Every structure is written in C-alpha cells, then in structure tokens.
C-alpha cells in the first residue's frame, strides 16, 4: 500500500511541469475499465452474484459502501473527506483522509488507455463521480480503505472495547447531497453502549441515519466512541 501511495504521489509531482497542457476531458471509459483497470477480477464475466458476494464479504467482516457524488460536479472545488473521532460525545481528532490532485474534486485519466495514467502520455482531468469505502475489521481495529478513480488510501481505526459483548457497527446517511462550504456526514462507525435496564449492550436500530432523527440522536448521544466520515466541498 505504501508503494501504491508513493507511486500515486510521484505521478502527481511528475505532471506538474506539464500542468499547463492538461485540459478537462470526459472520461469515456466503461464503468468496468474505470473500476477494474488491472482486470484482476475479470469483471466482464461477472453477473448475477453481486448480492451474494457482498453478503459473503460481510460475513467475513468486510463491508462496502458506494457513495455517489450528488449533485454531479460541473466545476472545480476544493475537496476533502474528513474522519472525525468522538469519545463520550467530545470531538478528539479530525483529519482529511483522501488524496486528490491538488486537493481538488478531480482525478487524472487517459481516455485512450485502460490504465489511468500511462508514462509518456498527457492525461486529462475529469470530476470525481463517487467514493467507495471498504472496511475490514477484527476485534480491536477496523481497516478503512477509501477509493476513488484517482487513488486509494488505507486507514486503521482503533476500537475502544471495555466489555466482552461490546461491539461496533456501521450506519449510513442517505441524504448526502453536498452543500458548498458545509460538512455533510456520510457514514458513522460506532460502539454499542451498555443499558442498565436490559443488562446488555444496545445499538441504534435504524440503518439510515437521515430518515430517523430519534435513532440518530440516540446513537450519537449514547455511543461512548464513534467515528464520523463526512464530505466537504469548498472554495
């Protein structure tokens, strides 16, 4: 992963000298070519099993969240994906966990080749259309991978477990349209909390934090430790 990240940064540095020649051009490659440009999964032969695969991955401790960017970008903005950690309701840490070209809402591509950036070619810009989050967890840590067409970054998130039956889970927001200069929450990774009434751990029952204000408030008020992943588009 470190090698991938260094390669990504090296490519960005190497194109600075020709940045004046780079123009915006719509990325006309197929969805499969964009997402599986090394074709390790032979995506052209995949059909009919997506749900079962996702369920199998979930059983194995892996979850996938596809987040479309809405409204679709039509101009260049600053762009960040922020990871904010809370302990007992207090914000303790915040960091931008995405890397894009010059921190903008764009990625580089070469429309004539399935590989996004090929040595010796002059790439073009297009706007980032979506983000994908992969999580893989064990008893103490969840490994979060953030991916877009321009790069990938992996981040370990530590759990604060103090009870045997304490657990963590994901919850998502469905109303994620970006608003200029505002932070819009996308996902929450949170701990359960102990309820003295029922003598066991509880967790928010809704799967969509945008549609149940009461359940969302309960989760953010009672969870002793949680992370919020948010999107910010700003000038």
Q: Where are the domains of the chain?
A: 2-234
pTM for this prediction: 0.78
Predicted pLDDT of residue 40 = 37
Predicted pLDDT of residue 24 = 77
List the beta bridge partners of residue 64. Answer: 134
Radius of gyration of the chain (CA): 20
Predicted pLDDT of residue 57 = 76
Cα angle 151, 157, 161 (rounded to 5 degrees) comes to: 165
Backbone phi, psi, residue 187, to 5° = -140, 155
Predicted pLDDT of residue 115 = 56
Predicted pLDDT of residue 135 = 94
Predicted pLDDT of residue 27 = 78
Q: Cα(159)–Cα(145) distance, rounded to whole angstroms?
A: 16
Predicted pLDDT of residue 44 = 42
8 Å CB contact between 187 and 226: no
Helix or strand holding residue 2 (H, E): helix 2-14
Q: Cα(8)–Cα(105) distance, rounded to whole angstroms?
A: 16
Predicted pLDDT of residue 37 = 45
Predicted pLDDT of residue 6 = 41
Predicted pLDDT of residue 42 = 37
* pLDDT in single tens digits along all 235 residues of the chain: 444 444 444 444 444 544 555 677 787 766 655 654 443 333 443 444 566 776 677 777 888 888 999 999 999 999 999 999 999 999 999 999 999 999 999 998 876 655 556 667 777 899 999 999 999 999 999 999 999 998 999 999 999 999 999 999 999 999 999 999 999 999 999 999 999 998 999 998 888 999 989 999 999 999 999 999 999 999 9
Predicted pLDDT of residue 51 = 61
């Amino acid at each position: 992963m470190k090698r991938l990240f260094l390669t990504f940064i090296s490519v960005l540095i190497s194109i600075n000298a020709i940045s004046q020649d780079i123009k915006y051009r719509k990325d006309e490659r197929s969805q499969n070519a964009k997402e599986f440009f090394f074709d390790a999964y032979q995506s052209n032969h995949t059909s009919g099993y997506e749900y079962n695969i996702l369920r199998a991955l979930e059983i194995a401790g892996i979850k996938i969240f596809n987040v479309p960017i809405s409204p679709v970008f039509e101009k260049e903005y600053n762009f960040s994906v922020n990871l904010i950690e809370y302990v007992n309701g207090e914000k303790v840490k915040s960091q931008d966990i995405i890397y894009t070209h010059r921190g903008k809402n764009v990625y580089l591509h070469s429309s004539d080749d399935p590989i996004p950036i090929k040595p010796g070619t002059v790439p073009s810009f297009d706007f980032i259309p979506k983000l994908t989050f992969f999580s893989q967890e064990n008893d103490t840590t969840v490994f979060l991978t953030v991916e877009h067409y321009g790069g990938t970054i992996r981040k370990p998130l530590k759990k604060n477990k103090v009870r045997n039956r304490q657990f963590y889970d994901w919850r998502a927001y469905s109303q994620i349209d970006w608003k200029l200069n505002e932070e819009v929450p996308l996902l929450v990774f949170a701990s359960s909390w102990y309820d003295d009434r029922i003598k066991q751990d509880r967790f928010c029952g809704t799967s969509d934090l945008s549609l149940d204000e009461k359940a969302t408030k309960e989760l953010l008020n009672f969870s002793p430790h949680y992370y919020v992943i948010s999107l910010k588009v700003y000038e």
